[in-house]
Amino acid sequence: MKFSFLAKPSELQLEKDASSKYLPVVVAAMVFLASLSLIGLFSINSAISSWSGAISGNLTVEIAYDKDSDMDKKSQKAVSFLKTVPGLDEVRAISSGEAAKLLEPFLGRADVIERLPLPRLIEVTVAENSALDLLATANQLEQAVPGAHLNTHRPWLDKMLLLARSVQFLAAAIMFLISMVTVVIIIFAARTGMVMHHDIIEVLHLIGAKDSYIARQFQDYFARLALYGAIPGLIIAIITMQLFTYLAGRLEAGLIQPPTMILEGWIALAMLPLLVAILTTFTVRWIVLSSLKRMM
């Protein structure tokens, strides 16, 4: 595959054009923002798959606190009942000490939390491809153990998925907006270059140069500038992502997940500079040919 824009033009001396001098800087900023949007889009997609996989097969039983009841006995009774329900893989009661440890980052010392009137929790794993009737199981559990409530996490997961999809749509809209702004900037730079080199273009026309020849010089030059800006912009975006991943990992907070890129995401990122160069090539070619037709 031959990339003609890597070769420098000779006749028009476009390198001396001051109007396009800062184009790589502008393209670098645009590619940086587009790369962050792309990283966010693929990271959220990975998070959605992770949430669905982790939660869809898990249930939680909550036994409301009752000061007049033996909570350990009620918890054991609920565990015994759930172990008789077909379609459940694992049933495990979470001790009050374990629950206090989970709440420690939010409420303070675990030994203090253990003295609070907290509900008892039971973790339940549903067997794969199980045809478990959740509503019937929840009703039977409440009858067997008063105060026990089966939580499927489904309403919470649905809200999280809706929020994640909204953020993905926003990231895609930002990428589209960045693409449009980049095209407008390139159009402005190409038209300015046409005006500045108007006399030379007329001379080339007089000696028989074709429109496609002149357009190729412009498109190759601007595509080369776009590539020079796109590669640094992409590198800075990847460094930013790695820095954020490092900082999020140090927080050790479950609610803030570091960005996780899948293979398709890395391929899309790697293709971004080439796509910017191709978009620049076709945009400049279209603008130059249209302008040359009006000049004739």
Task: Give the per-residue pLDDT at 53.
Answer: 64
pLDDT of residue 25: 92
- pLDDT band at 234, cuts 50/70/90? very high
In this predicted structure, the answer to whether residue 263 has a pLDDT above a threshold of 70 is yes
Question: Residue 258 — pLDDT band, cuts 50, 70, 90?
Answer: low
| For residues 106-131, average pLDDT | 75
pLDDT over threshold 70, residue 296:
no
Name the residue with tokens 């000049």: 295
Q: What is the pLDDT of residue 8?
A: 59
Q: What is the mean pLDDT of the chain?
A: 81
In terms of phi and psi (left: phi > 0; alpha: psi -120 to 50; beta: otherwise), the region of 211 is alpha
Question: Using the 8-state DSSP alphabet, how is residue 4 labeled?
Answer: G
Give the torsion sign (CA, 67, 70, 71, 74): negative
- Higher-scoring residue by pLDDT: 99, 1: 99
CA 162 to chain centroid: 15
Evaluate if residue 3 carries a pLDDT over 80. no
> What are the Cα distances from residue 232, in Å, to 36, 146, 166, 184, 281?
13, 63, 30, 21, 19
Residue 118 has pLDDT above 60, yes or no: yes
pLDDT value for 7: 60
pLDDT of residue 11: 62
The residue ranking higher by pLDDT, 94 or 284, is 284
**Which pTM does this prediction carry?**
0.69
pLDDT of residue 92: 85
150 neighbors 137 (Cβ within 8 angstroms): yes
pLDDT band at 157 (very low <50, low <70, confident <90, very high): confident
Rounded to whole angstroms, the Cα distance separating 189 from 161 reads 42
Q: Is 95 helix (H, G, I), strand (E, B) or coil?
A: coil
pLDDT of 46 > 50? The answer is yes
What are the C-alpha distances in Å from 260 to residues 45, 110, 220, 256?
A: 9, 32, 36, 12
Is the pLDDT assigned to residue 10 strictly greater than 60? no
pLDDT tens-digit series, residues 20-32: 778 899 999 999 9
pLDDT digits (tens, 9 = 90+) for 192-215: 888 888 888 888 878 877 888 888
For residue 65, pLDDT over 50 is answered with yes
Nearest residue to 222 (alpha-carbon basis) of 192, 244, 190: 190
Strand-pair partners of 150? 61
Q: Is 48 exposed, middle or buried (0-12, 13-18, 19+ CB in 10 A)?
A: middle
Burial 209-227 (b: 16+ CB within 10 A, else e): eebeebbbbbbbbbbbbbb
- pLDDT-wise least confident of 124-138, 164-178, 187-201: 124-138
Q: What's residue 1's pLDDT?
A: 46
pLDDT per position as a tens digit, 266-282 = 898 999 999 999 999 99
Q: Would you state the structure tokens that stand for residue 246, as one six-digit string?
A: 């490092």
